[in-house]
Structures are given as C-alpha cells and as structure tokens.
Amino acid sequence: MLRRLAFAAVLSVTALPALADYAAGVRAWGHGDFAAAARQFSAAAQAGDRESQYMMGRLHSLGDGVPRDWPRAWAWFDLAARSGHQEAAIARDNLAEILTATERRQALALAAPAPAPAPAPAPAPAQVAAVEPRMSVVIPRGRAPARLSAPGATEEGYLLADPDSAATVRALQHELNLLGYGAGPEDGRIGPMTRSALAAFQRDTGLAVTATADRATVSLLGVDVQQAGR
C-alpha cells in the first residue's frame, strides 16, 4: 500500500511541470511561434504527456518549428495513440499510408522517440500573427496523394492548457460522481477512472464515446470552461 501511495505521489508531482510545459506550448503554437512550441511540447512529451506527444507528431509531420520528419512524427503519434489518444491514432494511420518502406523501418525504430534537438534561436519578429489551426494537409507522394489528418490542439488539450484546468476537471469529476459514474477522487487530474466515467456518460447520453473531456460532454455536464487559445 505504501509503495502504491508513493508511486501516486511521484505521478502527481511529475504531472504538474508537464502540464505547465504543455500549456506554454499551446500558447506559443497559437501565436505561430512554432520553435518555442516545439521546445515546450518536447519537454512535456518526454515526461509522458500524451497531448504533447500528439503535438510533437503534428509539428514534425508539417515541419513547424522542427525539421519535417515523417518517421519521427509517426513515432510520436504512435506513442500518444498507445496511451489512448484517438486523434493521434488517426494521424498515425493516415501518415503510415504515405511512408516508404525505408521510412516505415525508421518509424518502427523510433517507437520510443529520442528528444528532438532544440531548434536554433531565431530573431523574434516585431509581432507574431495568430494562426488558425490547420485541420488537415494533403501531402502528395507519388501518383496518389494521401491526406494526413493532424489537427492542432484537441478540445481536451485546450481545456488542459487553461490556467484553471484543475478546477474545471474537479468540477467535471464532481458532476460525474453526483450522477453515479464513479469518476474517482476529485483531484483535478483526468486519470483512468475519470476516463472510464466519461466514456460511460457519453455512451448513456448518445454522445460520441471518446473518453475525453470534449466540448459536448463538458457542456452537457453543465461545467463552464473558457478554453485557452480560443
């Protein structure tokens, strides 16, 4: 029991810096500063944050702030997908369609991706224009173009990037517990029990079963949140 409690305490401590890095990455990405976003996402991704792993895949797939590297993008998407990130799984599978045999071997060799080198600092422009998330990119490979679905930060990702995300998640857990869905301790972190409760609530109410705190689910539970970056 003491060993399990100690392990939970370590998880709680390590999750906080990763969440801060992810939030900083979303802010930088939303303002078009992809190099800064890559530095922040890389730190959080290596700490195990699946949203940051997904965003690293996106940056590498498009060459935003880091060199375009499809095998490394696939590896990041795969890592996030193996933690249950649905958008990452879609992006990984779509990207696999346009990889050459050599790139597939490289991607598999990067199943546990090494950290990308930090990009060289560049002079900051006087003002960086905000960018709209690009929902998809058509990448031609040979005679058959393939669509790489790699949207920007997910709805849950925006929620987690908000400075008040812990309070929002606690409110979410509270509502789920009141309804009898067993979201677990109201600790402000979306763990396995909370995801199971979200999936059960979505199934019972006819929503898409994503097990994530997407906009429709949060709204139906009556939790008010202003998503960062929107």
E strand or H helix at 218:
helix 215-220
Backbone φ and ψ for 48, nearest 5 degrees, come out as: 105, 5
Exposed e or buried b for every residue in 43-72, given b needs 16+ CB within 10 A? bbbbbebbbbbbbbbbbbbbebbbeebbbb
Q: How many domains does the chain have?
A: 2
Kindly report each contact of residues 75-83 with a partner whose C-beta sits within 8 Å and lies 24 or more positions away, as own/partner.
75/107, 75/110, 75/111, 75/112, 75/113, 76/45, 76/113, 77/53, 77/150, 78/107, 78/111, 79/45, 79/50, 79/53, 79/111, 79/112, 79/113, 80/50, 80/51, 80/53, 80/54, 83/50, 83/53
189-229-41-71 Cα dihedral, nearest 10 degrees? 110
- Residue 128: inside a domain: no
pTM of the predicted model, to two decimals?
0.64
- Please check whether residues 102 and 170 belong to one and the same domain: no
Q: Which residue range(s) make up the domain with 84?
A: 10-117+135-152
**pLDDT for 66:** 93
Tokens of 200: 């059960």
- Measured on CA atoms in the order 45, 50, 52, 53, is the torsion positive or negative? positive
Q: Is 127 a domain residue?
A: no
d(C-alpha 121, C-alpha 119), whole Å: 6
Residue numbers of the chain with a pLDDT score lower than 70: 1-19, 112-152, 226-230
**What is the reported pLDDT for 54?**
92
Decide if 111 is inside a domain. Answer: yes
Residue 115's identity, in one-letter code, is P
CATH value at residue 173: 1.10.101
206 belongs to a structural domain: yes
Is 63 found in the same domain as 141? Answer: yes
Q: Give a yes or no: residue 227 inside a domain.
A: no
Q: Is residue 5 part of a domain?
A: no
Instruction: Identify the three-state secondary structure at position 204.
Output: helix
What pLDDT, on the 0 to 100 scale, is given for residue 71? 93
202 found inside a domain = yes
Residue 141 shares a structural domain with residue 187: no
pLDDT at 35 (0 to 100)? 92
The answer to whether the CB of 162 falls within 8 A of the CB of 188 is no
* Helix count and strand count (H, E) for the chain: 10, 2
Residue 67 belongs to domain with CATH number: 1.25.40.10
Report the DSSP pairing between strands 137-139 and 146-148: antiparallel
Tell me, what's the pLDDT at 198? 92
Measured over the CA atoms of residue 45, residue 17, residue 192 and residue 149, the dihedral's sign is negative
Q: Is 31 helix (H, G, I), strand (E, B) or coil?
A: coil
**Pair 67, 146 in one domain:** yes
